[in-house]
C-alpha cells in the first residue's frame, strides 16, 4: 500500500509515516480485512465507505504541506469519523483531533477502535458535521471525507486565521485557507474524486 501511494506521487514523510503506523485492517471490519491493503474504498455499512488509501493520503498531504503551523501543536476537526481509520491517522499527525459522525453506530465503533489503538488525543461526538464543533474552535485544520455542495459557513467561522479546510466540493477536491484577515479566504481546486454526499 505504501508503494502504491508513493507511485501516485504522495511524498510527505509525515503522511507516509502515519499511514505506516496505523493498520487499516483494524478499521476495515472483519468482512473487509482480507482487502484492507488494497488501494480501494471499502463498505462499512450505513451507506458509508472507508476511503481509498491514496485518496486519504492525498487529502492529508494537501492539509499539511507547507502548513504555517506546527501540526504537532495544532487541533484538527474531522467531519465524518466513519470507520475511524482517517481519525487515527490524524491522531498521529496532530496534537488534538475532534471528530464528528452523524451515524451513531459508526461513531461508537470508531471510538472503540481508537481506544484499542491506544490513541489518547481524540474526541468523537455524534452530530451534524455541517455545524462543526464550536466548543473547541478555532481549529488550525478541518478535513471532510464527504462531498459537500459548498463549504459550510460554520467551518469557515471555526477555522483559525491561517488555517486550512480540505474537502471535496461537488466532486472537486478543494482547499480553503483563511487569510489573516478573518473575512478573506483563498480557494484552490485540485483533482476530481467520488465521495458519498455530506448529509
Peptide linkage before 138 cis (omega within 30 of 0) = yes
Q: How far apart are the C-alpha atoms of 189 and 196, rounded to whole Å?
A: 19
Would residue 99 show up in a list of annotated catalytic residues for this protein?
Answer: no
* Nine cell digits for residue 143: 478535513
DSSP secondary structure code for residue 181 in this structure: S
Opening angle at CA 14, ends 13 and 16, nearest 5? 65
Residues facing 147 on adjacent strands: 197
Radius of gyration of the chain (CA): 15
- CA-closest candidate to residue 150, choices 171, 181, 125: 171
Q: Which of 11, 34, 51, 70 is catalytic?
A: 51
Q: How far apart are the C-alpha atoms of 186 and 196, rounded to whole Å?
A: 25
- CA-closest candidate to residue 131, choices 94, 169, 100, 168: 100
Active site residues: 51
Amino acid at each position: 500500500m505504501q508503494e502504491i501511494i508513493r507511485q501516485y506521487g504522495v511524498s510527505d514523510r509525515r503522511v507516509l509515516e502515519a499511514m505506516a503506523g496505523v493498520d487499516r485492517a483494524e478499521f476495515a471490519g472483519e468482512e473487509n480485512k482480507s482487502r484492507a491493503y488494497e488501494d480501494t474504498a471499502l463498505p462499512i455499512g450505513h451507506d458509508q465507505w472507508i476511503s481509498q488509501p491514496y485518496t486519504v493520503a492525498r487529502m492529508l498531504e494537501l492539509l499539511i504541506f507547507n502548513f504555517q503551523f506546527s501540526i504537532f501543536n495544532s487541533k484538527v476537526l474531522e467531519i465524518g469519523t466513519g470507520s475511524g481509520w482517517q481519525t487515527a491517522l490524524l491522531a498521529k499527525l496532530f496534537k488534538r483531533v475532534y471528530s464528528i459522525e452523524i451515524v451513531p453506530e459508526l461513531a461508537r465503533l470508531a471510538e472503540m477502535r481508537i481506544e484499542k489503538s491506544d490513541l489518547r488525543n481524540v474526541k468523537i461526538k455524534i452530530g451534524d458535521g455541517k455545524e462543526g464543533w464550536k466548543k473547541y474552535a478555532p481549529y488550525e485544520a478541518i478535513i471532510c471525507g464527504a462531498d459537500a455542495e459548498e463549504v459550510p459557513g460554520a467551518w469557515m467561522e471555526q477555522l483559525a486565521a491561517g488555517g486550512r479546510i480540505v474537502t471535496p466540493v461537488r466532486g472537486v477536491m478543494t482547499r480553503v485557507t483563511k487569510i489573516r484577515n478573518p473575512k478573506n479566504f483563498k480557494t484552490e481546486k485540485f483533482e476530481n474524486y467520488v465521495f458519498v454526499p455530506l448529509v
